[in-house]
Amino acid sequence: MIVGTAGHIDHGKTALVRALTGVDADRLPEEKRRGITIDLGFAYKPLAGTDQILGFVDVPGHEKFVHNMLAGAIGIDFVLVVVAADDGVMPQTREHVQILDLLELDFGLVALTKADLVSAERLAEVTADIKALLAPTSMRGFDVVPVSAVTGMGVAGLADQLNAAAEALAQRPMKGHFRLAVDRAFLLAGTGIVVTGTAYSGRVKIDDRLTLSPSGMDVRIRRIHAQNQDSPSGQAGQRCALNLVGTDLEKDKIERGDWVLNHAVHVPTDRLDVSVHVLDTEKRPLRHWAPVHVHLAAAHRMGHVALLDCDTVEPGKSALAQIVLDRPVGVLHGDRFILRDHSAQRTIAGGKALDPFAPSRNRRTPERLAILRALIPAKPEEALAALVETAPHWVDLKQFAIARNLTDEEAAALWPKVRMMVGREGNHLYGFSQERWIELRERVLAVLEEFHRKSPDLPGMDRSRLRPAIQSKLPLPVFEILAASLLHDKAIATDGPWLRHPTHKVTLTPADERLWGRIAAVMKTSKYDPPRVRDFSKSMNVKEEDVRNLMRRLARMGKVVLVAHDHYYLRETVAQMVGIVADIAAGSAESEITAAMFRDKIGTGRKVAILILEFFDRSGVTLRSGDLRRVHPQKLEAFGPVRPAERVSA
């Protein structure tokens, strides 16, 4: 269990931690010289009769160091609110309580320090004040325990209550990928770079390879201290010190607020959609685009609040918002945050992250707001069920799993719990409402049938035309999943690069079939340099216009491709030449090709090779820069699948 202190300056937080653990949490020379806590301090105490260790995070109470207090408060299990009996409730007592309430911390107690200095009447008076302060918060009902770090009064009883709380606290589930919020980084002689922080989720072992986020630097875990002890592993709910190694890793490249985490959840962002609650003590409403200090885990950023479902948020009210940051930060769904005013004088609001994949456009549309409301439930199955029933009625399941920090196994176990159709194609995985899935399939068939009715002599629709015809702005992954499903069920068919209804077929007249058979035989023989239209006309004693009309019809059918004027190639030959271009590029040091390289590979003259490459430029298969070309990987199968065997044989 991790215990965090809170309270006004000079109310005895550090002295109480020392009385409980024997450790002076003030570690900086300036803290010892000035007699006040400036930064986070840490102490540990073994839990009697168990193998557990209590971890203490001691926070500063001065108003100038609230940013340091926030770095330690987010992530604790048990809050120890410290109030001095002589002073009573003070300004930072109130602000710390507000912060803890916004973080929804509801497990802890109040230590009424310096109890030996006041009368019983004063103790009763301050206790009543504290109860009144906590009554409207998540900490209502906290026990108030009088103690004195000087005389030892009540310290043993307080320790017993902490031990009982630790035994009663349910261990954090070891779900999700590992995430640790870094609050310190330092060099240790003979060891190297060490970072410390609270493990939010998952488990880490020595030699695990993780990512330093948001920088994206790869690191390896060489050594682990968990709850101040050498350990082969660390896990959620523990204070951990990780000895990091990595190429070009330097201490100066690590800062408070970074994360050490599994690469699967390395998704830094400079904007996040949130639910935000404004403190009822604020004198003015929170306005759209208000500048704020944002505290999230151990990170501190500057940002603006873009209100989404209103223009102002009155004190005591909540709203949906997008926080736009000055620098990227690591965040996932459910992470708590605190907002302070632009001058960092007071806490004004707080809330919960809903979506780390927040859009920069159309963020206030009714459709987007409905999606955000569907994301609010904490349970993934409830949120996912709400999402698939919310327009557009499909969900990027991989993105959902990342945002909710679900491992592959956890995600696979979740999908069957939700009433939805799951579609997969390549790296894409989407969930659809069953009604929407059926509607989309029927829409594809209806569009194709209408196209065939209007254009019976065309073999089918190009994918780039079919997708917007189904629905404006239909995402490409959704279309690919939909098409793959229909093809698998044989509800539609392919004809070269086109999709068609399985009953539709373009046929040639018997005379054209005979002529095409003769032409095709020649084109297969002279694969990379076939005759032109006029050459076929002369050699086969057929009118040039008849050959040209036939080749145009064959091009519409997808059997041939017009590469240059009156110069047609078999579609499978074009696909093979795309593979040859890709192989040449893959084998060159700079992934570039020249016309000479391509000419030598296909064994034609330079003029023909350039004609083909210029066609590839126009088609987007290659990207030209001077005499050099690069391959566009997403266009490799523009003319059909390219089999490895074809590439080798070329």
- Where is the domain boundary, 168, 196, 222? 168
Instruction: Tell me, yes or no, whether 149 and 208 share the same domain.
Output: no
My answer on whether 191 and 213 are in the same domain is: yes
Burial letters for 105-133: b for 16+ Cβ neighbours within 10 Å, e otherwise? beebbbbbbbbeebeeeeeeebbeebeeb
Domains contained in the chain, number: 5
State yes or no: pLDDT of 302 exceeds 60: yes
| Mean pLDDT, the chain, whole residue set | 93
Q: Provide the angle, in degrees to the nearest 10, between the axes of the packed helices 13-21 and 155-168.
A: 80
Q: How confident is the model at residue 643 (pLDDT cuts 50, 70, 90)?
A: low
Asked whether residue 142 falls in the same domain as residue 7, the answer is yes
Calculate the alpha carbon distances from 279 to 95, 273, 486 in Å: 10, 19, 53
Q: Is residue 82 part of a domain?
A: yes
| Percent of the chain at pLDDT exceeding 70 | 99
**Of the residues 467, 482, 506, the one at which a domain ends:** 506
Residue with tokens 């639910």: 275
Same domain, yes or no: 591 and 637: yes
Residue 246 counted as domain residue:
yes
Nearest to 74 by CA among 404, 351, 376: 351
Instruction: Quote the distance between the C-alpha of residue 477 and its chain's center.
Output: 18
- Assess if residue 174 is contained within a domain: no
In a domain, residue 374? The reply is: no
- Whether residues 214 and 258 share a domain: the answer is yes
Please report the sign of the dihedral spanned by the C-alpha atoms of residue 141, residue 174, residue 268, residue 388: negative
**pLDDT tens track for 368-404:** 999 999 999 999 999 999 999 999 999 999 999 999 9
Q: How far is CA 101 from the centre of its chain?
A: 27
Q: Are residues 253 and 164 in the same domain?
A: no
What's the mean pLDDT in 575-586? 94
Task: Give the pLDDT confidence of 460-474 residue by residue, as tens digits.
Answer: 998 999 999 999 889
Q: Are residues 22 and 155 in the same domain?
A: yes
In terms of DSSP bridges, do strands 239-245 and 41-46 run parallel, antiparallel, or are they unpaired?
Answer: unpaired
Domain that holds residue 442: 379-506
pLDDT tens, 62-79? Answer: 888 888 899 888 789 999
DSSP conformation class of 94:
H
Q: Residue 30 has what pLDDT?
A: 85
Does pLDDT of 645 surpass 50? no
Report CA-CA distances (Å) from 338 to 293, 311, 344. Answer: 8, 20, 11
What does the block give as tokens for 10?
Answer: 């000079």
Matching residue, tokens 């430029």: 617
Considering the domain boundaries, does residue 411 fall inside one?
A: yes
Distance CA 50, CA 284 (A): 50
Scanning the structure block, which residue is given the tokens 């266009």?
A: 635
Give kind and range of the element (H or E) at residue 58.
strand 53-58
- 3-class DSSP state of 538: helix
User: Do 167 and 50 touch, CB atoms closer than 8 A?
Assistant: yes
Q: Distance between CA atoms of 56 and 50, rounded to whole angstroms?
A: 17
CA of 211: how far to CAs of 119, 122, 206, 410, 535, in Å?
Answer: 55, 53, 14, 21, 62
Instruction: Give pTM, 2 decimals.
Output: 0.84
Give me the count of residues in the chain: 650
Residue 637, pLDDT score: 82
Specify if 512 maps to a domain.
no
Give the helix ranges, DSSP H, for 62-170. 66-73, 91-102, 120-134, 155-168
Q: What are the two backbone dihedrals, phi and then psi, of residue 237, each rounded to the nearest 5 degrees?
A: 90, 0
Element (DSSP H or E) covering residue 635? none
- Residues 15, 158 within the same domain: yes
Gap between the Cα atoms of 156 and 152, Å rounded: 8
Contacts (Cβ under 8 Å, ≥6 apart) of 77: 1, 2, 3, 107, 169, 237
Q: Tell me whether residue 424 is in a domain.
A: yes
Specify burial of residue 218 (Cβ count, 10 A radius: 0-12, 13-18, 19+): middle
Instruction: Let me know whether 316 and 225 are in one domain.
Output: no
Same domain, 9 and 129: yes
Task: Give Cα separations from 551 to 365, 532, 570, 637, 639 (angstroms).
Answer: 50, 10, 11, 22, 17
**Residue 563 sits in the same domain as residue 646:** yes
User: What is the rounded CA–CA span in Å between residue 247 and residue 215?
Assistant: 13
Q: Which two tokens stand for residue 153?
A: 């009064």
- Distance linking the first and last C-alpha atoms of the chain: 65
Among 141, 168, 195, give the residue marking a domain's end: 168
Domain co-membership, 256 together with 274 = no
Confidence of residue 330 (pLDDT cuts 50, 70, 90): very high
Cα separation, 19 vs 493, whole angstroms: 77
In a domain, 66, yes or no: yes
- Residue holding tokens 């770095």? 71
Check residues 459 and 429 and name the one with the higher pLDDT: 429
Q: Cβ distance 364 to 370 under 8 Å?
A: no
Q: Within a 13 Å sphere around the CA of 640, how many CA atoms are in the beta-carbon half?
A: 17
CATH assignment of the domain containing 539 = 1.10.10.10
How confident is residue 187, by pLDDT bands cut at 50, 70 and 90?
A: very high
